């Protein structure tokens, strides 16, 4: 399936596949398809702020969203969604890295925390879907199905309800 191949170039040699995500929470006629590299590096609020204003802006908006994700992926100081999730799962820097990266702010010692984006495949596709009136479904067909006795269909020879067969 072509959609399963998005972003899979680097993973193909390892026998892995990237799974694209389709968002249904975006305003109707716009749809977004992206790989996890977008969501590992950008927050929803940033993505929404970069959405196109109309169909003519879709390409430039997709480029801007992908560029933001790529910029965050290479930023070692950015508190990305990926590192925020890792911290919530109990993953962090080793104690020596925390000490070596400590800073003083506001009269307090702050130990370094896990930060940075995640280098990953980043694919963003934005599309406007034009909803048009669908043609009405075709009426009943002229071809009648042949009745097979015993198939449970109404039979003109069968007794009406309440009557007994002889």
Domain ranges of the chain: 17-128
Please state, in angstroms and rounded to a whole number, the distance separating the CA atoms of residues 47 and 25. 12
* Higher pLDDT pick, 2 / 28: 28
For residue 129, the model assigns a pLDDT of: 79
For position 143, what pLDDT does the model report?
A: 55
> What percentage of the chain exceeds 70 in pLDDT?
67
| Across 28-32, 126-130, 144-148, least confident range | 144-148
Using DSSP's 3-state secondary structure scheme, residue 30 falls into: strand
CA triple 25-28-29, angle to 5 deg: 130
Instruction: Read off the tokens for 131.
Output: 């909803």
pTM above 0.85, yes or no: no
Task: Supply 121's token pair.
Answer: 């495949």
Q: Give the burial class of 79: count Cβ atoms within 10 A of its Cβ; 0-12 exposed, 13-18 middle, 19 or more buried.
A: middle
Structure tokens at 144: 């009648």
Of the ranges 39-43, 77-81, 130-134, which one carries the lowest mean pLDDT score?
130-134
Instruction: Specify the pLDDT at position 38.
Output: 96
Lowest-confidence pick of 63-67, 87-91, 120-124, 160-164:
160-164
Task: Give the pLDDT band (50/70/90) at residue 165.
Answer: low
18 neighbors 8 (Cβ within 8 angstroms)? yes
Greater model confidence, 86 or 16: 86
Tokens of 81: 């969604």
Nearest alpha carbon to residue 82 among 113, 118, 47, 121: 118
């Amino acid at each position: 399936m072509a959609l399963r191949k998005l972003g899979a170039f680097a993973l193909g040699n390892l026998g892995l596949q990237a799974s694209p995500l389709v968002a249904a929470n975006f305003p109707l006629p716009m749809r977004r398809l992206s790989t996890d590299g977008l969501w590992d590096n950008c927050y929803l609020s940033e993505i929404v702020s970069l959405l196109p204003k109309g169909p003519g802006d879709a390409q430039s908006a997709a480029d801007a969203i992908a560029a933001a994700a790529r910029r965050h992926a290479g930023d070692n100081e950015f508190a990305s969604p990926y590192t925020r999730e890792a911290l919530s799962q109990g993953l962090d820097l080793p104690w020596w890295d925390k000490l070596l990266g400590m800073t003083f702010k506001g009269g307090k010692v702050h130990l370094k925390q896990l930060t940075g984006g995640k280098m990953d495949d980043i694919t963003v596709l934005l599309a406007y879907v034009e909803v048009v009136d669908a043609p009405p479904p075709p009426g009943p067909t002229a071809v009648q199905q042949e009745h097979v006795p015993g198939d449970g269909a109404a039979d003109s020879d069968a007794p009406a309800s309440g009557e007994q067969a002889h």
